[in-house]
Structure 1
Amino acid sequence: MRSARAVLAWAAVAAAVVVPVALAAGSPLLAWRSPVYIAAGFAGVVALGLLLLQPLLIGGYLPGLTPARRRRLHRWVGVALVAALVLHVAGLWITSPPDVIDALLFRSPTPFSAWGVIAMWAVFATALLAALRRPLRIRPRWWRAGHVSLAVVIVAGVAAHALLIEGTMETVSKIVLCGLVVAATVKLLVDLRRRGAQRPGQKNRPRPRSGERSELA
């Protein structure tokens, strides 16, 4: 029974990530786009899918993973997320440098551009914070606060950016994926807050289940 639930959980997550990509691949709008622009667009779609995995890994919501393996996967997914974002922006720069410059300077008339730029800088700031955590000996309390705050900015920015764009992504699957990303993040924030509130009363704190402990806890 437990293994069946684990398979269903992983299958649901895989479907949530793969289905939007597959539907975007069948968009008729791709016929008028250059290969570089298409690659840049799909890099953004992949980044959105990777973003769903991060709160699921941190919160221990994906079955069958030890805490150590979850932390390693979280780091590698973070690296992949940064790489996908760089490919997304680089491809858009190659196809239309003026539009990218306007977006970076917040001069673009399209609202989704501003949200995308905000999310981009938050992703880079998160990666920098993770890289400097040990060299700068950042205290766990400040690390958690900074990491969680940036994660909220990233999720809000990416969701707004994706939902406001009318492009190759199929509408329903895009809304569902964005909703799952937001819901998973909110669930994680609630659980982290609950666990933090329980710390002063260690005597009454229930023992965590296997794999429940969060990397940020």
Structure 2
Amino acid sequence: MNPVRTTLVWAVLVVAIAVPIAAAAVSPLLAWRSPAYIAAGFAGIIAMALLLVQPLLIGGYLPGLPAPRGRRIHRVIGAVLVIAVAIHVAGLWITSPPDVIDALLFASPTPFSDWGVIAMWAVTGAAVLAAFRRRFRMRVRTWRHAHTSLAAIVVVCSVVHALLIEGTMETLSKVALCTLVVLAAIKVGVDLRVWAVRR
């Protein structure tokens, strides 16, 4: 790939991830917030950023990271994503256990909570499938469709969850990041024909 294009692709990715994090870091809504709440919020932002990286890796779109190597890194990033989600939930639990319980029971008055909980369980399911694929003795085709379906649920629910929250993330950078996440997921789905039934 052309060096200029390579630099441009990586620069765009870095900006897409760094700008929302930097904007959230200077948010006035962080004032008087507990460390656990702040950690939970930034873990959520990082998780959203990782959702942008994942399809780019699996599709082999990042210069210098061909698809086979990208898939190996994809698995590592998947584990980091699970950790980020766990920190997000744990921080919110420390901040307000009743709110987390309501969310897990789908009894929360805030609509974004339901989307977040669905995304959390979908992330967990995708991670379990990835970790125990051989133990489950699933056919590659079946595993592929199940993992991809869960990933799609994660993307949709996470994006809706983030857009409904009026929190520390700056609005424009949040919308831009969410848009890129959806576009990246759609592109890899179309390019790899993830819905196709293959023998």
**Normalised TM-score (structure 2):** 0.96
* Structure 1 outlier segments of 4+, above 6 Å: none
Q: Which sections of structure 2, spanning at least 5 residues, go unmatched?
A: none
Q: Distance in 1 between matches of 2:50 and 2:30?
A: 22
1:124-182 deviation line (CA, Å, top 9, x unaligned): 00000111101222111101110110011000000000000000000000000000000
Q: CA RMSD of the aligned region, Å?
A: 1.6
Q: Counterpart in 1 of 2:142?
A: 142
Aligned length: 199
1:17 Cα deviation after fit:
0.7
Say whether 1:92 aligns with 2:92: yes
Q: Distance in 2 between matches of 1:118 and 1:38?
A: 22
Q: Counterpart in 1 of 2:124?
A: 124
**Normalised TM-score (structure 1):** 0.88
1:87 Cα deviation after fit:
0.3
What SS does the corresponding residue of 1:63 show, helix, strand or coil? coil
Q: Distance in 1 between matches of 2:195 and 2:104?
A: 38
Q: Distance in 1 between matches of 2:162 and 2:136?
A: 35
1:18 Cα deviation after fit:
0.9
Q: Counterpart in 1 of 2:160?
A: 160
Q: Is the 8 A contact 2:57 2:67 kept in 1?
A: no
Structure with greater Cα Rg: 1
1:196 Cα deviation after fit:
4.4
Say whether 1:23 aligns with 2:23: yes
Q: Is the 8 A contact 2:59 2:67 kept in 1?
A: no
Q: Counterpart in 1 of 2:64?
A: 64
User: 1:92 is aligned with what amino acid?
Assistant: L
Q: Distance in 1 between matches of 2:36 and 2:155?
A: 26
In structure 2, relative to structure 1, the CA distance for the partners of 1:144 and 1:194 (3 Å cut) is closer
What SS does the corresponding residue of 2:4 show, helix, strand or coil? helix
1:120 Cα deviation after fit:
0.1
In structure 2, relative to structure 1, the CA distance for the partners of 1:115 and 1:194 (3 Å cut) is closer
Q: Counterpart in 2 of 1:211?
A: none
In structure 2, relative to structure 1, the CA distance for the partners of 1:194 and 1:132 (3 Å cut) is closer
Q: Distance in 1 between matches of 2:8 and 2:123?
A: 30
Q: Counterpart in 2 of 1:10?
A: 10
Q: Which sections of structure 1, spanning at least 5 residues, go unmatched?
A: 201-217
